[in-house]
Amino acid sequence: GENVEQHPSTLSVQEGDSAVIKCTYSDSASNYFPWYKQELGKRPQLIIDIRSNVGEKKDQRIAVTLNKTAKHFSLHITETQPEDSAVYFCAASMGNAGNMLTFGGGTRLMVKP
Amino acid sequence: SAVISQKPSRDICQRGTSLTIQCQVDSQVTMMFWYRQQPGQSLTLIATANQGSEATYESGFVIDKFPISRPNLTFSTLTVSNMSPEDSSIYLCSVLLPTDIQYFGAGTRLSVL
């Protein structure tokens, strides 16, 4: 089955700096890669996703890049703000209805004001 | 998107008892899932709730311990049976939309004494 590794497990940055979280996956058949943000005591919420037919996707301060050959994808947050502090999870699936997500271990991001 | 109602939001139970968690979604969905999230950990898939047939369980989870019902396309229940303190965790339901996006319920925080 799919295995997703996520690094780092914790990340501390100063407000205004950039943050990068990296994930690798094992199954080359995976083609859908979402990122979830989970604030303390809240549900995981989708913040951005990418499919295997594109290499990069951007939404305001958040971007995701995908390298299919190397089987890794990354989340980039620019101009970080204290409200970005949360746990971030990457995931991978083979897409199509019926294929479940395999989650990475999570990254606790702390943005210091 | 999807609006998911999960209840109870939290409960404190005695060991040896059972708790049933309900998940209601505001539209018909083919796929519903149940996850467990232990404190400070990632999300682990328990099972896929199949409408009209038995749930599909992941390795390490069995029907006798986590029976699941899925009577229709908008509702599912997860029962945690014969609970022990090791079952203390957050349990989340999720739904999969045709776009491959998964939305999560708010979770049930379970403490077993």
DSSP state of A113: -
For B36-78, write each residue's pLDDT tens digit: 999 889 999 999 998 888 899 999 999 999 999 999 999 999 9
Mutate to test the interface with A, among B6, B57, B102 (most CBs of A within 10 A): B102
Question: Over 80: is that where the pLDDT of A95 sits?
Answer: no
Question: Over 60: is that where the pLDDT of A102 sits?
Answer: yes
Residue pair A16/A80 in contact by the 8 Å Cβ criterion: yes
Query: In 3-state terms, what secondary structure has residue A84?
Result: helix
Residue A40, CB-side half-sphere exposure with 13 Å CA sphere: 5
Question: Which positions in chain A have a beta carbon within 8 angstroms of at least one beta carbon in chain B?
Answer: 32, 34, 42-46, 49, 89, 93, 95-98, 100-101, 103-106
DSSP state of A93: B
pLDDT at position A96 is 62
For A3-42, write each residue's pLDDT tens digit: 999 999 999 999 999 999 999 999 998 999 999 999 999 9
Q: In chain B, which residue's Cα lies nearest the Cα of A108? A: B40
For B71-111, write each residue's pLDDT tens digit: 999 999 999 999 999 999 999 999 988 787 899 999 999 99
For A39-92, write each residue's pLDDT tens digit: 999 999 999 999 988 899 999 999 999 999 999 999 999 999 999 999 999 999
Q: How far is CA B55 from the centre of its chain?
A: 11
Contacts of B14 (CB under 8 A, 6+ apart): B83, B112, B113
On chain A, the residues whose CB falls within 8 A of the CB of B104 are 43-45
* A to B CB pairs, distance under 8 Å: 44
Q: In chain A, which residue's Cα lies nearest the Cα of B1? A: A46
pLDDT at position A2 is 87
Residue B2 confidence class, pLDDT cut points 50, 70, 90? confident
